[in-house]
Structure 1
Amino acid sequence: MNATDANAATAATAATADDTFTDRRAGEALDTVRTCITLFGAVGGIVLATVAVTAATGHPTTAFMWVRGAVLFLATFLLHRYLGRVRAGDAKAFDRLRTLSAVAPVAVVGVDLVPGLCPAWYAVLQGLSALALVGVAVLTRGAALRAAFPAAR
């Protein structure tokens, strides 16, 4: 196999992965899911940056704020990985993405409601990131993606 054949085979494999969703609505829904996950990560990065600036300026921060901010930010990469597998047609990854996007916002907001655990600004920023995951939860339960993954219920 020469270099041209290898490039053609690679392109065919990439096209196959992209063509998993022939339904335009499912593809558009997954594009929006990607945007929501990216937004979740961006807000998570803002949270970590804000905690770092707060600590650097001598204001109080807690280990809880650092650890939770880092875990939620790093969860973005896991969600993107699941999304990549969903685009390749992996029903288990779709189920995991659906489940995580439904459970995480409830957990985030639930912890934020514990009095005295974190400052109000921190709870607000974490709540904003949770809203992005609510979007993922809604989209993954929409008709277009349910039709693309009928077994994942």
Structure 2
Amino acid sequence: MAITATANLGNSRTHQVFSTAKKCITLFGVIGLITLATVAVLASTGHVSTPFMWIRGVIFPALAPVLLRLAGRATEGDYRAFDRIRTLSTVMPIAVIAVDLIPGICPAWYAVLQGLSALALLPVAVLTRTKAVTAAFPKQ
């Protein structure tokens, strides 16, 4: 259920933030696709690929459209979508990097690509916490 937009939601700065957020989320998805394609190529040429690499490689690109939809709904004034995108863009990079740092869980190249993908969400976490954007969404 969308809330009634406040005057700040029509602010060009707020729309610019969500436009930037969508670009960052798209970058997250593109790097995720590159990672998945790399795993597929390496596996097809006889290199080691683990279920962890495949599963996580599929989840990231699949998650990008969900995040884009949340960002779109937030642009329309949906507080719950705004809160979810803000939370996910904060938690995901931390969780991804923490898991990638576990010794032996994945090759270094994979950890780097996944880390870059997750880091693409950091600007979203920062931008959705700016005063202008948070003022546009009254707490529910």
Q: Shared topology, TM-score over 0.5?
A: yes
> What is the distance in 1 between the residues matched to 2:109 and 2:73?
35
1:45–1:73 CA contact under 8 A, matched in 2: yes
Partner Cα distance (1:132, 1:96) in 2: 17
CA positional deviation for 1:75: 0.9
Q: Secondary structure at the match of 1:118?
A: coil
Instruction: Report the alpha carbon displacement of residue 77 of structure 1 after superposing the two structures with TM.
Output: 1.2
Unaligned runs of 5+ in 1: 1-16
Q: Which residue of 1 aligns with 2:129?
A: 141
Tell me how far apart the structure 1 counterparts of residues 8 and 62 of structure 2 sit (CA, whole Å).
27
Aligned 8 A contact 2:128 2:134 in 1:
yes
Normalising by the residue count of structure 1, what TM-score does the alignment of the two structures yield? 0.84
Equivalent of 2:56 in 65, 68, 87: 68
Provide the TM-score with structure 2 as the length reference: 0.91
Q: Rg larger in 1 or in 2?
A: 1
What residue in structure 1 maps to residue 38 of structure 2?
Answer: 50
The reply to whether residue 35 of structure 1 matches residue 26 of structure 2 is no
Please list every run of 5 or more consecutive structure 2 residues that lacks an aligned counterpart in the other structure.
Answer: none
Q: CA offsets per residue over residues 36-95 of structure 1, 9 Å max, x none?
A: 000000000000000001101110100100001111111101101101111111001100
Counterpart AA for 1:93: A
Q: Contact conserved, 2:36 with 2:58, CA < 8 A, in 1?
A: yes
Q: Distance in 1 between matches of 2:132 and 2:30?
A: 26
Q: Report if the CA contact (8 A) 1:34-1:83 is conserved.
A: yes
**1:112 aligned to 2:89?**
no
Identity of aligned residues (%): 57
Alignment coverage as a number of residue pairs: 135
